[in-house]
Structure 1
Amino acid sequence: MSYILIKNGLIYDGSGEQPYQSDVLIEGERVIEIAPDIEREDAQVIDASGKAVTPGFIDIHRHCDIAPFTNPHFGEIELAQGITTTFVGNCGLAPVPSVPSWRKELYDYLEPVIGRLPDDMAFETYEDYRKALEAADLPLNMGFFAASDSIKIALKGFGSKAYTAEELKTAQEYVKSALAQGAFGVTLGIMYQPECYSNREELTTVVKAVAGNGGILCTHIRGEGDSLVESVEEVIDVAAKAGVPLNISHLKSTGIKNWNSRIFEAIQRIEQARESGQDVTADFYPYDGGSTTLQSLLPPTIMEESFEALVKGLSGPEGKQRLRSELNKVHQGWDNMSESIGWDRIIISSVTLEKHIFMQGQTIAALAEKLGYEEPSDLVADLLVEENGKVGIIVLSMSQQDVDAVARLPFTLLISDSLYGGDGKNAHPRLLGTTARFLNDFVIKRKVLSMEQAISKMTYQPAKRMGLEDRGLLRPGYQADVLVFQPESFLDHADYTGKHDLCTGMDLVLVGGKQVLADGILVDRTSGKLLRKGFN
Structure 2
Amino acid sequence: MCVSPEVGSAQKNRADSEYDIVIRGGRVLDGAGNPCVFADVAIKDGRFAKIGKVEASGKTEIDARGRYVSPGWIDMMDQSGPVLPKNGLAENKLMEGVTTAIGGEGGTPVPADKLREYWAELEKNGISLNFGTYFSETQARVAVLNYDARKPNGEELAKMKTILEAAMQNGAMGMTTALIYPPSSYATTDELIEMAKVAAKYGGIYASHMRGEGKELVQSVDELIQIAERGGLPGEVFHFKAAYSPGWGKLMKEAGRHIEAARARGVDVAADLYVYTAGGTGLEAAIPSWAHEGGKEQLLKRLADPAIRVRLKKEIRKGSPGWWSIVEASGGWKTSFW
1:43 counterpart = 2:62: no
Instruction: Select which of 1, 23, 27 maps to 2:40.
Output: 23
Distance 1:289 1:51 in 2: 27
Instruction: Select which of 49, 52, 73 maps to 1:57.
Output: 73
Deviation (angstroms), 1:328: 5.7
RMSD between aligned residues: 2.3
Instruction: Select which of 4, 18, 21 maps to 1:4.
Output: 21
Question: Contact 2:193–2:231 at 8 Å: present in 1 too?
Answer: yes
Cα 1:34–1:260 change in 2 (3 A) is: closer
1:344 counterpart = 2:334: yes
1:306 counterpart = 2:295: yes
Partner SS state of residue 320, structure 1: helix
Match of 2:231 in 1: 242
Match of 1:77 in 2: 92
Deviation (angstroms), 1:35: 4.0
Distance 1:34 1:343 in 2: 51
Question: Contact 1:147–1:188 at 8 Å: present in 2 too?
Answer: yes
Instruction: Select which of 136, 147, 157 maps to 1:147.
Output: 136
Instruction: Select which of 39, 43, 51 maps to 1:34.
Output: 51
1:66 counterpart = 2:109: no
Distance 1:188 1:237 in 2: 14
Partner SS state of residue 60, structure 1: strand
Cα 1:159–1:44 change in 2 (3 A) is: same
1:228 counterpart = 2:217: yes
Amino acid at match of 2:25: N
Q: How does 1:198-347 map to 2 (within 5 A)?
A: 198-327=187-316, 330-340=319-329, 341-347=331-337
Cα 1:336–1:14 change in 2 (3 A) is: closer
Q: How does 1:374-389 map to 2 (within 5 A)?
A: none
1:266-297 deviations in whole A, cap 9, x for unaligned?
11111111111211110110222211111111
Amino acid at match of 2:157: L
Q: How does 1:453-492 map to 2 (within 5 A)?
A: none
Deviation (angstroms), 1:7: 2.4
Deviation (angstroms), 1:148: 1.3
Cα 1:192–1:39 change in 2 (3 A) is: same
Q: How does 1:180-191 map to 2 (within 5 A)?
A: 180-191=169-180
Task: State TM-score, norm by structure 2.
Answer: 0.86
Distance 1:175 1:86 in 2: 21
Amino acid at match of 1:6: I
Distance 2:334 2:59 in 1: 57
1:168 counterpart = 2:157: yes
Task: State TM-score, norm by structure 1.
Answer: 0.56
Judge which range, 325-334 or 139-148, deviates more.
325-334
Deviation (angstroms), 1:155: 1.9
Cα 1:82–1:285 change in 2 (3 A) is: same
Partner SS state of residue 61, structure 1: strand
Match of 2:110 in 1: 96
Deviation (angstroms), 1:244: 0.6
Cα 1:78–1:163 change in 2 (3 A) is: same
Deviation (angstroms), 1:83: 0.8
Distance 1:138 1:189 in 2: 27
Task: Give 5+ residue unaligned stretches, structure 1.
Answer: 99-123, 348-362, 364-536
Instruction: Select which of 9, 30, 35 maps to 1:13.
Output: 30
Question: Contact 2:138–2:184 at 8 Å: present in 1 too?
Answer: yes
Match of 2:7 in 1: none
1:301-342 deviations in whole A, cap 9, x for unaligned?
322222211122212534423422543665223212222321
Deviation (angstroms), 1:31: 2.4
Question: Contact 2:200–2:232 at 8 Å: present in 1 too?
Answer: yes
Distance 1:74 1:8 in 2: 28
Question: Contact 2:193–2:230 at 8 Å: present in 1 too?
Answer: yes
Distance 1:180 1:83 in 2: 27
Match of 1:370 in 2: none
Deviation (angstroms), 1:252: 0.8
Question: Contact 1:247–1:281 at 8 Å: present in 2 too?
Answer: yes
Q: Which one has more relative contact order, counting CA pairs under 8 Å at least 6 apart? A: 1
Match of 1:384 in 2: none
Cα 1:266–1:144 change in 2 (3 A) is: same
Moved over 4 A (4+): none
Distance 2:212 2:334 in 1: 21
Number of corresponding residues: 320
Deviation (angstroms), 1:73: 8.9
Amino acid at match of 1:5: V
Distance 1:126 1:164 in 2: 27
